[in-house]
Every structure is written in structure tokens, then in C-alpha cells.
Structure 1
Amino acid sequence: MSLPTAEALDSLEEYEDLTAWINDTLTAAEGDQSVESLTELDQQITQLIASLDIACEDTSSQLERTIDDVSRGIPRLTYDLHFIKDSAVSLQSSLATVHARSQAVIPDTTASALEQLKRLDTMKEHMEAAREVLREAESWSTLELEVTSLLAERNYAKAASRLSEANKSMVVFQNTPEYDPRRTLLVNLQNQLEASLSSALVAAINEQNLETCRGYFFIFSNIQREVEFRNYYYGSRRAALTSMWHEAELSDIAPEGNKSTGETFDEFLPKFYASMLALLNQERSSIPAIFPDPAHSLSAFISSILAALQPTFSQRLASISSHYGDLALKELISVFRVTEEFAIGVAKLMDKIQYSAVSSTSLDTEMPPTTINPGHTRKRSMRMSISLRSSVTRSTSGGQKLQLLADGLDWDQELFHPFLEFQADYGSLERRFLDHTLREIVSNETRQKESDQARVFRERAIDIFGAAEESLARYTAFTHGYGSVALLQALDGFLKSFIDMWTADVSFASSLPQSTLQDAASEDLSGLDYTSQDWLNIQTMLHLLSSARSVYERMTSFEVKLRSNLAQTANKFRLYREDPASFPITNSKGAAQILEQSSLNSADLHSLLDRADVDPSQSRENYLRHSGHSSNTGEPLLTDARSAMSDFAKACQVSLQGTILSPLRQHLASYASSSIWTTTAQESRNATFNDLQVPTFSLSPSDIIQRVTEGLLNLPRLFEVYADDDALSFSLQTLPYADPELLKGALEASVPDAPTHSRRHSISKAATLDPETVSTAWLSSLGQSLLVHLTTEVLPRITTLNAGGAAQLASDLGYLSNVIRVINVESEELELWKEYVELNDDVGKAKIGARSDDEDRVLNYVARMRGWQSTLS
């Protein structure tokens, strides 16, 4: 049975979660018996709903009554306030009247006596103040003698107290001629006290006599020399450590001309940090017993050690960079990691000193609050301290004086600040390292035969992308993600350089002279007289295109890894912004602050991370279009490398086309210088044709054009040999003079509609095109290339063209135009040549005279050949 309704409603006030109250109410029963059936549970819910409805109605009624009461009381409240105000004004008037009457009641003699007492009290206060001033003046007359006597007696604490009192009285002489002489005297006496204490202080510090050191700290604080005491203490405690640093003989930081055989800086630094951490652990017990602000003092001690190092940490890092050259990044990362491990150890020590129980309470009770102000740098005395002048003053690389008393716990910022210069230059360091790796890969690989170049290309690509993947760990270790933009630029340039080397090799090989000895394999291909070298070149270029496909797929896979890595960096940055304490960028707060405030934390960085933190799917066809701007997601990262891959594929295609078309171009080599353009018999015959208006297509094509057209018609048979080779389908968009509409339809047909997630898993697989479509694209490209060669290189070299030659040329071009359509190739410029060559002299001259400009290049060529306008060039 459920709890009574009133008790259940009363218990509602004890719950913050309504769900918990409902569950407890429904399951509560007398004798702790649970609900045995759904029917009983339904009855309880019904009863509870009814109880809640009644309670809601009661609460609503009470609320309405309360609102009514308040509404009626508000006008009365205004009246009450007005009444109180009037009463207060009346009371004020009454008090003024009473005061006036009370003054009138006092007799004149009494008033005079009271005024005299007031004047006497004022005189007493002034006389007491004057007496204090005179006492201070008298004390200053004996100050030097007293302090000197106390110093002779070695009563340093009393001397410090006397000087502290004198310092407080300096305000009396402010803006008077006595101020400067007394100030000079005070500083001199303070110097004497410090000089008397210096040797004893250094001895106490070396002996780690904490009680004596604490007493000396109290004395130095009394004479406003707390900073000087810290200088003595820090300088003495760090002496062994700074000597270890200065005297280290390092093989990779040896002076110029000195070949040191010592250990490397990477080997020395862990030992130095271990010694420094051991010293700090000692100071974790010593500093709290002396200083009132142990954490602040320990931080200042670490900063003083780093600032006192000679040569400085920055100078040694610069020496490392200079010594290792292109490989400096690897050494810098190693040193950076060791420094991070040291920072983690110091951070733990700082946590211990901050949360440990120290005996600072006794210090606070013994020393006046005004002498010690943790976290505040006291104004320095007019004189340069003996300690600062003798042993502590050292110049940093920037030439600024060392300030030992830091304003905050900024030891880790000073520790990591020397690395900032190299972190900001990470992109250059990474690129130099990658370029060195590229040179090693190239130099270590023996040059193979031409037939093995495709295999060498694939094998080198494995090493190249392996080196690229290693850079992902380097940029994370050295910049914690802030170097993402620099990493991307370095990788893009590195991969581009590798591919450009091969592109240059292909272009150079294409420019070499070819053999002219026909191979027996060419007998079945009429008009295509390939040599053995031609067949070898065709095979080599096909293998290189196949390797290019493999390298592209590897590049695409690497880009997925790169995008995933950048996405992880973006997520890390996002979590850091939301909760820096729980999701730190680095294990050191100071290192994170330095990177966050550096030039690496740019708008370009966050833009890149935003682009990377999206769906990374990118089909191969998006690469082939390779702008990547048509989609909002999956935008390419390695744009220059992709462009270089397109250039390499194009170079292979151009070389392959050059070899395929080489027999046809050889046929056309003597076409422009043929005698058929100026023979007398042919001219007479053509003159007759012109008179009779005989169509020029009745002439037979020349032998050269017949051989060229036979070769064009045999090109499809050549591609039947390589129908199963998918290398031809790679990067069709870079084919010279490729038909954009044909490529667009082919690429769309090759990419099936599939969910994004399924494409993501097959991103490295290139699309498979129909062999017939590939052959069509190649034949179209070859035909266009040959026609461009004919219309731009061959025909313009014809010097003279008489009427007979024009008729023959028109016949050749018409025949070629008909044949070229068989392989789906059309050329507007070829048709223009045919049209203009067919014109007779009168029509041609009239067309020349009627033209408005001379930008018709084909007409200019034909006019020069036919002599229609002698001034044309």
C-alpha cells in the first residue's frame, strides 16, 4: 500500500528530481513491500495523479488569495511610506528647535570654558607631534653612531631594526633640504650592514643553516634588501649547476675549429636536468623554512638558474641547429622532449610545495607584515646592491638585467621560451628535413634501366610516403598541433618535388632522338612504322602511367591519414577551449601559453583545422577534376602535390602520344617542302580546272596523306593490343586536346551512386572505365594532336602555293577531314584551311580586301602562299 497522500506530497519538497520522487512514491509501501502487479501499480499511479490534481488546485487557490492580499496591501504601503516621511521631517524640525534652546540655556562662562578646553586639547596634540619630530631629529643625529656600534657588536638584528625605524621617519623630511643627505646616510648604513652580513650569509647558505638564513632574511627585509638576499641565496645555490653547464664539453656544440670528442647535447641535457631536479628537491625543504612564499621563491630560483646559464639555452639550441643543418629538427625534438619530461617533474614538485604543510606561520608572526609581501617586487634601493654587482648581475641574450624576483610562477615559460624561435620556423625545418630525406632516397637508389623506371618510381614512392608519415609525429611532438599549416605546406612541397623530378626525367627522355629502324612488329600496322625503340618507349610510358596510378592511390591514402590526424588536432583544440584544465594541449601550462600566443596560432591554422574536421571522402574523379572546390567537404589538402601528379601523368601521356604519332609526323616532315605545290604541269592542269570550275575533290590525295590516313585508321588496332591495360584510363582529363564532354560523361558513369561512408573505405581505389570509352578518348586526343601539328607546324611552312598546288592541298585536306571523322575527330581550323585553299585568286583577293582586321591567321597564311597580298608576312 502506498504512502498516505499528505505525507507523499510533503515529501515532494525534499526532492530535486521529480522522477526520483515518483519512483520512490510508487514503490514505497508499508512493511517495505514492493508492487506485486501492474494492476496495483496502475491504481497507485491513478491515486497519485488525483492527489497531485487536488494539490495543484489547492496551491492555485492559495496563490490567488496571496495575490489578492498583496494587491490590497500595496496602496496602504504607499500611504505608510508617505506618513513615515512626514514624521521624519517633523522630527528633524523638532530636533533643531531643541538644539537651539539647549545652546541658549548654557551660560556664557560655561561656553567660554568649553572653548578653552578645546583649544588646549589641540595645542597638546600639536606639541606631542612636535615632540615626536624632535625625537626623530635627535635619533638621526645619533643614527650613524648607534648603527656602527651595533655592527661592531655584531648585533645585526637590532641594527636592522634601527635602520627600519629610520626609514619610516624619512617621510618627515619629504620635500625638505634634509631629505637627500639623510637618504644617502641611510643607504650607506644599509650597505655597511649588508657588507657585514655578506660573508656570514654565504657561509650559512653553503652550510644550509636554515635558522641563520631565516634570521638574515628577516634582517634584509627590515632594510628593504629582500631582493639582494634572494640574489645571494640563488647565486650560491645554483653555482655548481651553472658551472656544470658552462664547463660541459659537447661534441655537437664545440667552438668553431675545435673538434670536441665529448658527449652530445642530447646526451648531456638529461644529466643536467637530473642534477637540477635533485637540487630543486633539496630546495623544496629549504626554501619554505626561509621564505614566506615558497612556491613563488622556488619558481624565481628556477628562473634565475635558466637566466644565469652561459652560453644561454637559446645559444646552444642555435648551435645545434647550425651543427646538424638539415637534420636539426630531429635533434631539436629530442631536446624538446627531454625538456618536457623535466617540466613534468618540476610541476609535480611545485604541487608538493604548494600543498605541503610548511612552517610559514611562525615566520609570519615573527616578521612585520609590511616587510614581506609575497608576489610583490619591492622597490629597489637607490644604490646598486653589492651582491648584485659582484656575482649575480648577468646579461641575458637580449642584454637586459636579470630580475630574480618574478611576478608569478612563470618558470615554465622561461624554460620553453628558447624553443619558440624554432617552433615558429617549424615549416622551414620540416621542409629541410624532408628534402634531405628525398636526396638520400634518390642517392641511395642505383639508377635502373629504362624498362625498370616504373618499378623504381613505385618503390621510391613507398619510401617517400613513409618519410611523410613520420612527419606527422614530428609536428605533434614539437608544436603540439600548432604547426599544422606549416606541416601541410612542407609535405605538399616535398611530394611535389619528388614527382617533379620524375616529370623532368620523362620530359628529358621524350626529347632524345629516336631510332629510325623499323621493327618487324609494325608490319601489321600500315602507316605506323614503329621501331624497336618506339615499342620500348610505349611500354615504358604505359608502365609509368600504371605506376602513377599506384602512387596517386598511395597519395590519396596518405591524405586520408593526414586529414584524420588534423581532425584529431582540431578535436584536441576544441576540447582545450571548452575545458583547458581537463584537456590541456601540453603537459606544461607555460609551453601551452607560449604556443597559444605565438604566430603559429593564426587564422590560417583554425581555418585548416575546420576544413580537416569534416568528411574526408574524396573520390578519384574529384582528384581528376582536382580543383576540389565543387564540394563543401573533402576539399583536397595536398593541392600542389596533386597538381604535380597531373603534370607527371600529362608528361607521360604527351611522351606516349609523341611515340604513337612519330611515324605519322615523320611522314608529314617533308610534306611542306613537297614539289607538288609548284609543278608546271600541275599548275596548267589546275588552271584548266579553275576555268572549268572542276571540283577539287576529284583529285587523288597525295602519297603522304594516304600514308598518314592509313596510319590513323590503324590506330584503333594499336589500342586493341592494350585494351586490357588500365594505365590508359588514368588521368584522362590531362590528355592533350581531350574532349571535356566525353570525359565528363565517362567519369560520371564510372562513379556509382553510393553512400558517403562506403566511398570512404574505397577512397584509394581508382575508378574503372570502360575500355571502349578509354580508347575513344585516346583516339580523339591523338587525332586532335596530329591535326594541331599539321595546322600549326606543317602547313604554315609551305612557302608557295600555285593554283595546282592549292587544288592538291584542298584535295588532301578534304580526304583527311573525311578520314579523321571515322575516329570521331573534327577540327574547325582544318576546315578553314580547306575552305581558304579552295578559293580562286579573285575570290581570295576580294576576301583579303574586304576583311576588317588581320587576325584571321589561316587566311594570312594562305594569302602569303598564294601571293594574294605581297605585304602579308
Structure 2
Amino acid sequence: MSLAASSEDLALLEEYDDLLNWINDTLSPEDGARTDSLSNLDQQITQLIASLDIACEDTSSQLERVIDDVSRAVPRLTYDLHFIRDGAITLQNALTTVRSQSQSAIPKETDAALEQLKRLDTMKRNMEAAREVLKEAESWSTLELEVTTLLSERNYAKAASRLSEANKSMIVFQNTPEYDPRKTLLVNLQNQLEAPLSSALVAAINEQDLITCRDFFTIFSDIQRESEFRNYYNGSRRSSLVSMWQNAQLAESTSDRTLTLTFAEFLPKFYASMLALLNQERSSIPSIFPDPALSLNSLISSILSALQPSFAQRLSSVVTHHGNSSLPQLIAALRATEEFAVGVDKIIEKIKLSAVNTSSPSAPSSETSQSFNPSHGRRRSMRMSISFRSMSNRSMSGGNLKTTTTMDGMDWDQELFQPFLEYQLDYGVLERRLLDHALHEMISSDSGDKITDQARLLRERAVDVFGASTDSLARYEAFTHGYGAVSLVQALDGFVKSFIDMWTADVSFAISGPVATTEDPASEDLSGLDYTAQDWSHFQASLHLLGSARHVSERMSGFEVKLWSNLIETANKFKSYRGDPVNFPVVSSRGEAQILEQSSLNSAELHALLDRADQESSHARESRHSHEPLLTDARIAVFSFAKTCQVSLQGTILSPLRKHLASYASSPIWTAPDTRARTGGSGGINDLHIPTFSLSPSDTIQRVAEGLLNLPRLFEVYADDDALSFSLHTLPYLDAELLRNLPEQTTSSTEVLHNPPSHTRRQSIAYVRPVTLDPETVSTAWLSSLGQSILVHLVSDVLPQIKSLTESGAAQLASDLAYLSPIVRALNVEFDELETWKEYVDLDDEAGKAKMKTADPSDHVLETVSRMRGWY
């Protein structure tokens, strides 16, 4: 590396933000070849370090010179400032002197003449102003007589023109005592002019005399009564529609059950009549008003505000009358309203185009006319459109909402759709009530059917339930246009959960009731298990219900796929709207779109759900993985129902063993006296003790053991049944190690059942898919659970009921437990408490009392055994 090259590299140092990049670029060969020798690199580094040392020294010396220059220049700065200040004061004095000299240079005669001219000009202006005031006063003195004469001659146009001129002159009397009396006189004369015009105006409007209406509009505008003219016009044109609305005989508005016409059926007819009127006005209004589009908006708003009962009251009566079934009626009314809004938009668009084509190029746009406020003094509506934000990059918790604003004054559609907002916000409640009503009808139909196979009935009702759930997808889209997605999921989750909970509560009834099944042929091969005909009936009923639970779970999974697909479509629609709201609107009506966007439905929770849908769509395309569950509470309910069926099934399977153990605790063998053969006196040194051999297990334990050994035969027959392989994670007392070896799809759901998720954790529940397990795994899981269950029953319910144990009884109990231990191990059951019982029961009195002295207070087994043996 040459010295010149080093200088160039040092000059480039300030252009780098990262020091490492500069070092790498400086040490890299110019031709891009890799450095083969470390010695060359070391030489370059040495040269670079030397160049940096020299550059540091040069920089330090230059910095010292700059500091010296500044130190010498700073003391002179104060002097320079004082010098500048003195110069400014001198200049100011010179300017004052020049001004005084210029004034004294004017001759006195010239100055006097200029003052005289100024005074004369002031007098002229004051005289002109006085003349104008006198003219106005003269005009006002004859105003009342002139207007009254013109009114008597029915020369209304001239009278209006005269009043218009008088109104313009009111500014002359502003802030004077004459203002209020003259204002009162002007208003009285305007009222006198309006009175004879009103009846003629109404007649002209009814006769559709457009020329006369136009003349009247000019007159009313001249006297500042334009809003009154519009009131007359709108009131006359809307009268037929208001009467049609008010006189409608609807089923929701009366207790007369003979009336069958509903509001949802009447509304399209009313809208058709209103559209017919608006189409007539499309040709009439431009001939009368200078702002036809705003005038049509005013007419629509006037019609809606004049309806009695109001639109909101009609909707309230619909909800009250139809109750739980009110949502379809509301959807029908909303759909009719949306179709009407589309028709009105077309009319307004046509009237705007007509106004553009007929207006002169120099004339102001009718939409910017300031002579008319359609709301009678209300501020014009500013339409705010909040665009849907990026669902993949931003969350709704932020406050940076992109807005667009239009000020076209068209607020009729907001007034039209505002009454629906209350019910759109309550969509989740309305949907849940409708679904619950459908469920009630299903249950009512069940009560009339003589269906004895409850498992089949559950599967059939599951078809109906998820069919009703599928219908709700179209309802939420039609009523909320996607904004009610969160409410939909919550309503569906609660609906399906309530359906499953009802069956969970009735499992005992479904099993104990009559079962329309024939006796299983396998029961002949399993006659050694001591099952009665009723036991076999309960066994089959429980097994079939467990299979139905699997069927419900699979149907739920299939429905969740549909639900995810619908949410993905909604998310894509919102994304398209965000990018191009004109060509991809969420709602066809701008007013309805604005109302929904600014409502609480457009919440952070909605956007989080749509974000999940967008991510699910991407992940499904990439990895084809299964969707996360949406109906989390319903899925938990399915597992709870499956667990209830499993417990019932286990109760049936273990019923013979429980019967054997029912009298085990009250057996007399526990209190039998010690049997020892002696010779000679009692307790003498010549007593002969005959050694005791291992005791045989009691008959009860032998029968229990035989039953446990026969259980594998049962699962050889039924292990292939899909019902037994469903929801293995909910089996009671399933061994933890065995549970960990089950497929991953089911493992996480165990925590869900034992620790129900909170509101914030529900989104993280793993999706549980039905998996196909080999019969050996199914048998192992069930046998382990059954073994654990019977042992829990033995050590928790049976053994503690033994009141006392003699030494002989303790030996017998220890023998029974020792006999049972290897048998349960053959079923892959490790039960430490059984071994603990065996250990403590086998202790003699001396060892037992010693054990009590060092025992853990929480050792309930030792406490129970010590009570039986009398070690206290």
C-alpha cells in the first residue's frame, strides 16, 4: 500500500458510517482476488496504522491552530458589536434630521393648501354618506306603504324585490337604535308576503306547475325564506308516502293476529313508492332549484324524519314481536334498504350529470352553492371514511387511522341506515338467540319421536346443529358485512357448547334408558367377566355415545374449516377495500360503510381475528397445516362429554369387580384371632410355635384378579372400535408417561380440560384432530386407566373402611395386596400407594409403632393402618 493510496483511503473515511466497512474496503485487493498470504495482509495493516498515526498528528496540529485563531478573534467581537451599535444610533439621528428638514422645506402656503384639500375631501365623503342615509331613511319611511300596495295588487315579485333591497340596507343601521325596529318591520312585511303565497305555492306544487314553483322560489329567496319554500315543497311531495307509512297495518304494530303483513314485507313496497316519487323529482327539481342534488337529498331526509312511527320504532317493534326469530326479519329489512340506497344513488348520479350538462361553464357548481342548507341551520355533514388498515403490519391499538373526507352534503343514507346500527352492534346476541331458538325446536321435535338409540339421535342432531351454524355464516355477512365476525364466533362457540353440555348432563339418562340394540355376539365369548344383560346394554350405549362424540368432533372440525374459509374471504375483502375502496367496497352504500367503520364493531379484536385468518391462509398454502380451533369452548365441551362417556363406560366394565369389593371391608377375616399351636401352658417356655407358611389370597381378591386378567380379552374384541381411540387424553387416571407417548395432537388438550383457558389464552389451544391409533395403543391406554381406576377405588374407598386388623387379618391383607400387585403390573399399571399399603400392613406391632414415631404427618396411609392395627 503506497502513501498516496493511504491518503486517498483516509480521505474516504468520513464517508463511511461503519468503521469496519472502511477497514475491509481499504484492506481488500483492488482486483477483488483473495489474499493468499497473511504476510501481505500484515504489511498492509502496518502501513495503514502508520498512515493513521500521521493523520492523527496532522489533525491535532490543525485543531490547535484553529483554537488559537478563535481565541484571538473572540476579544475583538465585543468591540465590533459596540461599533455596529454606535453606527446604528448615528444613522437614526441622521434620518430624524433629514425628516425635519424635509418638512421645513415645504412652503407654508403649500402646506395650508394641502390641509384645505384634505378637509374638503373629508367633508365630501361625509356628505355622500349622509345622503345615502337620508335616501335609506326616505326609502324605509315609504317601505311599508309600498309593500302593502304591491301586495294588494298581487304584485308579489316586485314586493319581494323591494323587501330584498330593504334587507340589503339593514347594514346601514347596524349598531344603531334604529336597527331593531326596522328589522321587526322587515320581518312583518316578509310574513305578510309569505301568507298569501303559501296556499298558492302548495297548489302549484300539487299541480306540478314548475314555472310557477320556480317563480315562487325566486320570491322566497329574495325575502330570505328559501328554507320555508323547501319545507312547503318537501311537505307537499312527501304527504302520500307519510300516509302510506302511517296507515300500514302490520303484524308487528298490533295485537290483531289476523294481520300477516310483516314490516320486512311492507318495506320493499314503501321503498318502491319512494323510488317512483324520486324518479319524478329527478325531472322536476332541476327546473325549480339551482342545486338539484342537494335538494333531492333534502327531500329524502325530510321524508325519513317525518315518518311516524319512526323507522327506529318500527325496527324495535319487529324485535319485540318476533323475539328470538327477529334476526331474519331485520336482515330482510336491511337488504331492502340497501337495494333502495343503490337505486337512490343512481338517481342522484343522473341528476348530477344532468346538472353538469345544463349548467354554463362560468356558473358555479350546484354542489358548492351556499344559498341552501338542506338541514335548516344544521351544519353540513362531513363524511369521514376510515380505511381498513393493514392487517398484517399494524394492529388496531394504534391511533394513526387514515381518513378521507368528502363534503358533498349528502347525508340521507346515514339517516337511512342509522336505525340499524343498534341491532348490528347486538348482532352476537341476536344470532345466539336465533340459534338457541333453533336448538329448542330440535329438542321439542325429539320429545315427540320415539327414538331409543340416543347415540344415533346425537349424531342426527349434530347434523342439524352444524347445519344451523352454517346458515349463520350468510346472516353475519348480510347483516354486518364482515364487521360482526367476532360476535359470530362467540355466538357459534356458545351455541355448540350449550348443545353438547345438554348431552353431557343427560349421559346417565341416555345410558340407563332403553337401548335399541341387539345383544353383542362377543358377549358370549366374554361370559367369564360376569356381566349381566343390563351391563352389556350399558356398555354398548356408552360405547356408542363415545363414538357419537367422535362424530361430533369431526363435524366440528369440518365446520371450523368452513368458518375459517369465510373469515379468510372477509379478511381478503377488507384488504382489497383498503387498497381500492371504490372498486372493492365493503358495503355498497357509503353511509352504511361510514356508520359501520366508526362503530364499536370495527374493534381491535375484529382486526386481530382477521389477522389470524390472513395468517392461517398463508400457512395453509405453505405447509397445509390444520387450522387452529375457533370454537374453543365447544371443543372443551366435546372432550368433557367424551370424558363423561368414558367414566360411564369404565363404570360398566368395572362393575363386577366393584361388586366383589363391596363386602371386602366387612369380611370377618380381618378380626380373626391369631392361630398358633402350642404345647404346655400358655406363654410358657415350652410353648411350641408351628411356623406359618404363605397365605393364599382371599376369594374376593382372586375374583378381582381374574376379572382384571380377563379385561384384555374384552379389548381384543373392541380395540378396533374408533370410539375407544377417541380422546384418550381424557381417560381417568391415565398414566402420565403413557399420556406423553400419545400423539401430539391430543396431548395439549389435557391441559385444556384440567385448566380451562382464560379469555386471553383461548387462541393458543392446539387443534385436536381425530387420529388413527393402532389397537395395541388403545388397549394399553384403556387397560392402564381401568387398572388405575380400580386401584384408586380399592385404596380410597374400600380399604379405609376396614375397622380393625388383627395380626392374622393383617397377614391376610398383605397376602391379598401382594397377590394383586403383579397382576396390575401386567396391565402396565404402576401404583405406588398399593405398595405402600402392602408395606405398612405387613409390619408387626413393634415395627409399626416405631414407624409411627418417625412418620410424616401427611402420610394418610400409615395413619389409616395404625388405626386399624391399634398402634396409637
TM-score (norm 1): 0.76
Aligned identity (percent) is 68
Partner of 1:127: 127
Which of the numbers 661, 665, 673 marks the counterpart of 1:680? 673
Partner of 2:862: 859
Distance 1:467 1:426, change over 3 A: same
Partner of 2:483: 482
Aligned-partner Cα distance in 2 for 1:254–1:750:
54
Q: Deviations over 1:13-58 (max 9, x none)?
A: xxxxxxxxxxxxxxxxxxxxxxxxxxxxxxxxxxxxxxxxxxxxxx
Partner of 2:809: 805
Q: Deviations over 1:134-159 (max 9, x none)?
A: 33233333332222222222222222
Which of the numbers 834, 840, 845 marks the counterpart of 1:830? 834
Aligned-partner Cα distance in 2 for 1:616–1:740:
35
Partner of 1:192: 192
Aligned-partner Cα distance in 1 for 2:745–2:610:
33
Q: Deviations over 1:538-568 (max 9, x none)?
A: 2222222222222221211110010010010
Partner of 1:271: 269
Aligned-partner Cα distance in 2 for 1:490–1:134:
79
Aligned-partner Cα distance in 1 for 2:364–2:817:
113
Which of the numbers 288, 300, 303 marks the counterpart of 1:302? 300
Contact kept, 8 Å, 2:355 with 2:366, in 1: the verdict is no
Q: Secondary structure at the match of 1:698?
A: coil
Distance 1:521 1:95, change over 3 A: closer
Partner of 2:724: 728
Q: Which runs of 5+ in 2 are unaligned?
A: 1-91, 379-406, 748-766
Q: Deviations over 1:474-508 (max 9, x none)?
A: 11011100110111111111111222222222134
Which of the numbers 651, 664, 676 marks the counterpart of 1:671? 664
Q: Secondary structure at the match of 1:649?
A: helix
Aligned-partner Cα distance in 2 for 1:334–1:368:
36
Aligned-partner Cα distance in 2 for 1:182–1:338:
53
Aligned-partner Cα distance in 2 for 1:335–1:427:
18
Report the alpha carbon displacement of residue 804 of structure 1 after superposing the two structures with TM: 2.4
Aligned-partner Cα distance in 2 for 1:527–1:662:
14
Q: Secondary structure at the match of 2:586?
A: coil
Partner of 1:21: none
Q: Secondary structure at the match of 2:793?
A: helix
**Bigger mean CA offset, 558-567 vs 135-144:** 135-144
Partner of 2:845: 841
Q: Which amino acid aligns with 1:712?
A: L
- Tell whether 2:634 aligns with 1:641: yes
Aligned-partner Cα distance in 1 for 2:799–2:563:
52
Partner of 2:252: 253
**Equivalences for 1:568-647 in 2 at 5 Å?**
568-615=569-616, 634-647=627-640
**Equivalences for 1:489-504 in 2 at 5 Å?**
489-504=490-505
Partner of 2:648: 655
Partner of 1:325: 323
Aligned-partner Cα distance in 2 for 1:840–1:448:
65
Q: Deviations over 1:638-664 (max 9, x none)?
A: 101111111111111111111000000
Aligned-partner Cα distance in 2 for 1:431–1:191:
58
Partner of 1:777: 781
Q: Deviations over 1:518-540 (max 9, x none)?
A: 99976865862100111122222
Aligned-partner Cα distance in 2 for 1:780–1:694:
42
Q: Which amino acid aligns with 1:783?
A: G
Report the alpha carbon displacement of residue 466 of structure 1 after superposing the two structures with TM: 1.2
Partner of 1:183: 183
RMSD: 3.7
Distance 1:656 1:149, change over 3 A: same
Which of the numbers 335, 342, 345 marks the counterpart of 1:344? 342
Partner of 1:623: none
Q: Which amino acid aligns with 1:537?
A: H
**Equivalences for 1:2-401 in 2 at 5 Å?**
106-250=106-250, 252-255=251-254, 257-261=255-259, 263-357=261-355, 361=359, 372-374=370-372
Q: Deviations over 1:554-583 (max 9, x none)?
A: 211110010010010011111112221121
Distance 1:512 1:289, change over 3 A: closer
Report the alpha carbon displacement of residue 253 of structure 1 after superposing the two structures with TM: 1.7
- Tell whether 2:467 aligns with 1:438: no
Distance 1:377 1:309, change over 3 A: closer
Distance 1:98 1:106, change over 3 A: same
Contact kept, 8 Å, 1:202 with 1:236, in 2: the verdict is yes
Distance 1:459 1:715, change over 3 A: same
**Bigger mean CA offset, 163-172 vs 425-434:** 163-172
Aligned-partner Cα distance in 1 for 2:692–2:186:
121
Distance 1:813 1:282, change over 3 A: same
Distance 1:433 1:370, change over 3 A: closer
Partner of 1:417: 418
Contact kept, 8 Å, 1:738 with 1:781, in 2: the verdict is yes
**Equivalences for 1:703-714 in 2 at 5 Å?**
703-714=699-710
Report the alpha carbon displacement of residue 106 of structure 1 after superposing the two structures with TM: 5.0
Report the alpha carbon displacement of residue 355 of structure 1 after superposing the two structures with TM: 1.2
**Bigger mean CA offset, 528-537 vs 102-111:** 102-111
- Tell whether 2:748 aligns with 1:747: no
Distance 1:101 1:345, change over 3 A: same
Contact kept, 8 Å, 2:676 with 2:690, in 1: the verdict is no
Q: Which amino acid aligns with 2:116?
A: Q
Contact kept, 8 Å, 2:511 with 2:541, in 1: the verdict is no
Partner of 1:533: 534
Contact kept, 8 Å, 1:461 with 1:551, in 2: the verdict is yes
Partner of 2:471: 470
Q: Secondary structure at the match of 1:224?
A: coil
Aligned-partner Cα distance in 2 for 1:474–1:513:
40
Aligned-partner Cα distance in 1 for 2:427–2:691:
74
Report the alpha carbon displacement of residue 786 of structure 1 after superposing the two structures with TM: 0.6
Aligned-partner Cα distance in 1 for 2:522–2:815:
32
Aligned-partner Cα distance in 2 for 1:201–1:692:
137
Report the alpha carbon displacement of residue 509 of structure 1 after superposing the two structures with TM: 4.5
**Bigger mean CA offset, 599-608 vs 808-817:** 808-817
Partner of 2:382: none
Aligned-partner Cα distance in 2 for 1:149–1:862:
124
Report the alpha carbon displacement of residue 322 of structure 1 after superposing the two structures with TM: 1.4
Aligned-partner Cα distance in 1 for 2:674–2:526:
35
Q: Deviations over 1:432-489 (max 9, x none)?
A: 1111111222322467778622222222211221111111111101110011011111
Q: Which amino acid aligns with 1:738?
A: L
Aligned-partner Cα distance in 2 for 1:142–1:432:
74
Q: Secondary structure at the match of 1:356?
A: helix
Aligned-partner Cα distance in 1 for 2:368–2:667:
111
Partner of 2:567: 566
Distance 1:850 1:338, change over 3 A: same
Report the alpha carbon displacement of residue 165 of structure 1 after superposing the two structures with TM: 2.8
Report the alpha carbon displacement of residue 254 of structure 1 after superposing the two structures with TM: 3.1
Distance 1:240 1:448, change over 3 A: closer
Q: Which amino acid aligns with 2:702?
A: Q
Report the alpha carbon displacement of residue 161 of structure 1 after superposing the two structures with TM: 2.5
Aligned-partner Cα distance in 2 for 1:163–1:368:
26
Q: Which amino acid aligns with 1:811?
A: S
Q: Secondary structure at the match of 2:654?
A: helix
